[in-house]
């Protein structure tokens, strides 16, 4: 991966991490909205690491597979979070 892409990935990862921290500070008890936003931000950070740090940008088939795993995992995490509300 080129140095330019790596630097852009680092800037994006730091921005997403700071957004997570800021969001946690501003809306610490916002329930479902807070949790969904934090999980989506985590998914975006994971996507950047897979694409640019691990180089899957050059392997679209595998990037698709890992993205499907991430979406499934984070979706299941959100469902488990919401489970007590349904009981």
Partner 1 sequence: MTDQTSVLDELPGDLMIWVLIVSELLVFGAGLLAFLGMRAMDPAGFAADQAALNRVAGAANTIVLVTSGYCAARAVNAFDHSLRAMRLWLAAAMGFGIVFLVVKWYEYAEKARHGIGIETSDFFTFYYLLTGFHALHVVAGLIIFALLMRWGTHRNLEAGAAFWHMVDLVWVLLFPIIYLVH
Nearest one of 10, 78, 11, 82 to 43, comparing CA atoms: 78
- Cα dist from 35 to 1, 7, 54, whole Å: 32, 29, 27
Question: Nearest distance from residue 63's CB to partner 1, in Å?
Answer: 9
The binding site for partner 1 (CB under 8 A) comprises 1-3, 6-7, 9-10, 13-14, 17-18, 20-21, 24, 34-35, 38-39, 41-42, 45-46, 49-50, 52-56, 58-62, 69, 73, 76-77, 80-81, 83-84, 87
Nearest one of 62, 24, 61 to 42, comparing CA atoms: 24
């Amino acid at each position: 991966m080129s140095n330019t892409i790596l630097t852009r990935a680092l800037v994006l990862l730091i921005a997403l991490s700071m957004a997570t921290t800021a969001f946690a500070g501003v809306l610490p008890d916002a329930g479902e909205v807070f949790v969904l936003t934090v999980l989506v931000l985590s998914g975006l950070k994971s996507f950047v690491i897979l694409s640019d740090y691990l180089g899957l940008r050059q392997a679209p088939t595998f990037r698709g597979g890992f993205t499907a795993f991430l979406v499934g995992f984070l979706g299941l995490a959100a469902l488990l979070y919401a489970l007590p509300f349904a009981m």
